Amino acid sequence: MGYRDAPAGALLRPVGATVTVTVSRSALYAACALAALTVAAALGLGRVFADGSFALPIIGAALLPHAVGAFARGRRWHGGVLTVVTIVVVLVYTALVIAPSSTTYGIPGSGTIEALAHRLADGWHVFRTGRAPVPVTDGVLLLCMVLTASVAAIADALAFRSEATLAAIVPSLLLFVFASTLGTTELRTVTTIGYSLVALVFLMLQHQALLEGHRSWCSGRRLGSQATLVNAAALVGGIALLAGLVIAPALPGVDDGPLIDYRSIGGSSSSGPSSFRTLSPLVDLRARLTDQPDVELFRVTAPTRLYWRIAALDRFDGTVWGIQSQAQDVSTALGRQRPPGTVRQRFTITGLQDRFLPAAYEPRATDLQDARVVPESGTLLSPAQSITGLTYRIDSRVAAPPTPALIAATAARIPERLRSSLQLPDSFPASVRARATRIVAGTDNPYEKAKLLQDFFLDGTFTYDLNGPSGSGSDAITDFLRSRRGFCEQFAGAFAAMARSVGLPTRVAVGFAPGTYDATQGEFSVRARDAHAWPEVWLAGMGWTRFEPTPAGAAPGQADATVGQPANANASPVTTATTAPTSATTLANPRTNPVPRGASEVQAGSPARASGGSSNRHWVILAVVAVLAILAAIGWLVARLARKVRRRTRRRRTTIPAHSVAGAWQDALERLTDAGLPPSETLTPHEQALGYASRGAPPDATDPLEDLADLYALAGWSLREPTEEDVERAWSDADSVRAALAEGASGRERVRRALRL
């Protein structure tokens, strides 16, 4: 058999010739389908969250590992290098989305890891105690982003490094099962159908890609003589799936109803009271204080420095402070005309999200037309999806400082309706009870007991520290009393629990401090850094009275000693404990001591997410995702082009003549393939060259291609080693083919050929 008639399958791969590995379109489509599968599973988290603002960050976390994996395969990176790069890329992305203030021009700084660790701790706290749908807080969002990115990275490695198709579906399936088990029944049909269809598409495309690579779709590379990676992956994946199906239904909160029943918020007065349940706002309080603390949330016009209340938490299960109350139509609970002796405020919402409306406690009248209110706490809720831009008026009754007679009268019997505000779980630490008892020993007066507890935290041995552990449950209280370091969440939670242990009805309030007074505008600017938590004690004859165990200071979340003073009063922090008139409570920096409140009992709702300006932030996230996608596409294109150039350079520079001639032939065939004229492996090289004339190849390319085919066959099958002249002639022919194909092609066509798109 002469070399002109040798079969192409043999001639295309002569002994020692360089074998070129290219990525098929099917493999590219399969990679895109797997990325879409991860996105489909991640979007199933819509059943866990209360709104859709989670989607963009989660989609970015789902796509990035797949993009890094595709780039790494093109560069043939080692698995260890890929893992490190993926972790770094995901870290930078999560820092930009969750804690941008900790970065320098997008580059994580020394405080980034600490900030993300705090968010993860907060997210885990919600995961353990929350019930879907939960608000899109930074902690929960970060936890889901890390989970999604991990799923994407594992699935990508199983699919394209181990070529284990079925095992590659398991990580996303596990994520989908968790979301389905923990979430509500809403979107169940849509998410299930969407995920199933994308999974089917991925199976089909990956099957086709593996068949083209002469691999079975269920095969895997061998671990040893008795096992393969696919078997190991299938075993691990099966165990993980079984764990998800068994463990997920047993997680805390799975069987509970939704935390926020939005359908009850916008009801009319004719519908009567409706249930209002919400996640404790303490869960994400630190994130509000540290994430974009200077973003303005709302502005208030008022003559007095007051607290702008959002919620009061009166249910404590040993892990988290929460609330369950009834909401009524605002026209039923509040009047329209201003009652005598009230303080008027006018609010303009500039950055608060969700539906919760700040107001000084105790609101008595408002011009809000369409809103709901929790009468016990004065918590106001808007039926609108967003309250940004809303303006409204509130008239509130503010209590004066207590007199000796009022203090003496607090020894009266506690009403039966307040017994629930005395409850502590059976697991509450006995050591904490004993310490509280020792602190208040020597007095039976409820006000004096509360004052002694407050003085205990303000004796100078406790340090305000935003970097301490989060949480206000029993374990957190024990750790806080031991370390004596924490922020307002720990001070308020510890005080409230200890007060209950000595017979004082107590709850934890959340809200905002007065903010910064703008004398030119005559109004307060309230920012995210003003978020705060403090305890309130019910006292006979005085009602719910605010106490302040948090040390005063200028740090985000510290107490504000100017509450109750005129609007233009000096706002410098004070460190001495004083009693001041109480006002509305909400998230912020109240720096004052206990102050008697109005004589009504407050129970609570839930605050808006105080990560101010999150609507703008979502645009920033969208821009970041878009930029990352563009950079990933550019990087992929550049890497693809660089790989071609490097491969062709390597072929030319090889010192083995037969390899160099084979490289010239392969280079010519690749040029023809890029121009839309792929070769056929059923023909010999000479037949290939002759056939291109009838297939539309330029006339100037056919003669050098025939000569190159003869040289290639000679190099592969002749006993004679090609000479230097043969090598030069072969590459001259390859260059002639390239020039003939490029002649007359547009610039756009040349770019398309170079990238083979």
Q: What pLDDT digit, counting tens, does each position of 335-389 carry? A: 888 999 899 999 999 988 767 888 988 899 999 988 888 877 778 888 776 788 8
584, 612, 640 — which closes off a domain?
612
Same domain, 592 and 718: no
d(CA 172, CA 166): 11
Q: How far is CA 356 from the centre of its chain?
A: 22
Tokens of 344: 């008027």
Instruction: Please tell me whether the overall predicted TM-score, pTM, comes out greater than 0.75 for this model.
Output: no
- Residue 585 and residue 577 in contact, taking contact as beta carbons nearer than 8 Å: no
Same domain, 126 and 31: yes
Residue 605: what pLDDT? Answer: 33
Average pLDDT, the chain: 75
- DSSP conformation letters of 657-706: HHHHHHHHHHHHHHHHHHTT----TTS-HHHHHHHHHHTT--HHHHHHHH
Same domain, 599 and 700: no
612, 639, 667 — which closes off a domain?
612
Indicate the number of domains in the chain. Answer: 3
Q: Which of the pair, 498 or 99, is modelled with greater confidence?
A: 498
Q: How far are the Cα atoms of 41, 99, 125, 186, 250 from residue 44, in angstroms, in the given order?
A: 5, 24, 21, 10, 20
Q: Which of the pair, 676 or 495, is modelled with greater confidence?
A: 495
Q: What pLDDT digit, counting tens, does each position of 234-248 carry? A: 444 444 444 444 444
Same domain, 671 and 601: no
647 found inside a domain: no
Q: What pLDDT digit, counting tens, does each position of 164-173 carry? A: 878 888 888 8
d(CA 150, CA 490): 32
Average pLDDT estimate for 600-606: 32
| pLDDT above 70 (res 12) | no
Instruction: Grade residue 4 by pLDDT with cuts at 50, 70 and 90.
Output: very low
| pLDDT above 70 (res 138) | yes
Residue 52: what pLDDT? Answer: 79
Q: Which of the pair, 466 or 549, is modelled with greater confidence?
A: 549
Tokens of 525: 């600017």
641 found inside a domain: no
| pLDDT above 60 (res 124) | yes
| pLDDT above 80 (res 590) | no
Q: What is the CATH number of the domain that holds 602?
A: 3.10.620.30
Nearest to 412 by CA among 539, 545, 499: 539
CA neighbours closer than 13 Å in the CB half-sphere of residue 482:
9
Q: Which of the pair, 638 or 33, is modelled with greater confidence?
A: 33
Instruction: Grade residue 394 by pLDDT with cuts at 50, 70 and 90.
Output: very high
Residue 501: what pLDDT? Answer: 93
Residue 284: what pLDDT? Answer: 62
488 found inside a domain: yes
Same domain, 33 and 128: yes
| pLDDT above 70 (res 576) | no
- DSSP conformation letters of 255-281: TS--S--GGGTT--GGG--EEEEE--G
CA-based angle 25:30:31, to the nearest 5?
100
Tokens of 549: 């165990």
Same domain, 233 and 309: no
Tokens of 593: 């001591």
Instruction: Grade residue 426 by pLDDT with cuts at 50, 70 and 90.
Output: confident
Same domain, 334 and 426: yes
The label of the residue with tokens 């791969």 reads 13
Residue 123: what pLDDT? Answer: 77
| pLDDT above 50 (res 35) | yes
The label of the residue with tokens 């950055």 reads 351
Same domain, 565 and 535: yes
227, 255, 283 — which closes off a domain?
255
Average pLDDT estimate for 707-720: 78
280 found inside a domain: yes
d(CA 501, CA 484): 20
Same domain, 415 and 538: yes
Residue 602: what pLDDT? Answer: 31
| pLDDT above 70 (res 9) | no
Same domain, 730 and 584: no
d(CA 53, CA 567): 36
| pLDDT above 90 (res 302) | yes
Q: What pLDDT digit, counting tens, does each position of 51-92 carry? A: 778 888 999 999 999 999 888 887 788 878 888 899 989 888
Question: What is the percent of the chain with per-residue pLDDT over 70, rounded to a whole number?
Answer: 74
645 found inside a domain: no
3-state secondary structure 477-528: HHHHHHHCEECHHHHHHHHHHHHHHCCCCEEEEEEECCCEEECCCCEEEEEH
Same domain, 8 and 38: no
Q: Which of the pair, 507 or 194, is modelled with greater confidence?
A: 507
| Domain that includes residue 601, residue range | 266-612
167 found inside a domain: yes
Same domain, 228 and 313: no
State the DSSP H helix or E strand holding residue 308, giving kind and residue range, or none if neither: strand 308-313
Q: What pLDDT digit, counting tens, does each position of 439-474 carry? A: 999 899 999 999 999 999 998 899 998 877 677 788
Residue 688: what pLDDT? Answer: 77
| pLDDT above 50 (res 747) | yes
721 found inside a domain: yes
Q: What pLDDT digit, counting tens, does each position of 612-665 carry? A: 344 444 455 556 556 666 766 676 677 777 777 777 788 888 888 888 888 888
319 found inside a domain: yes
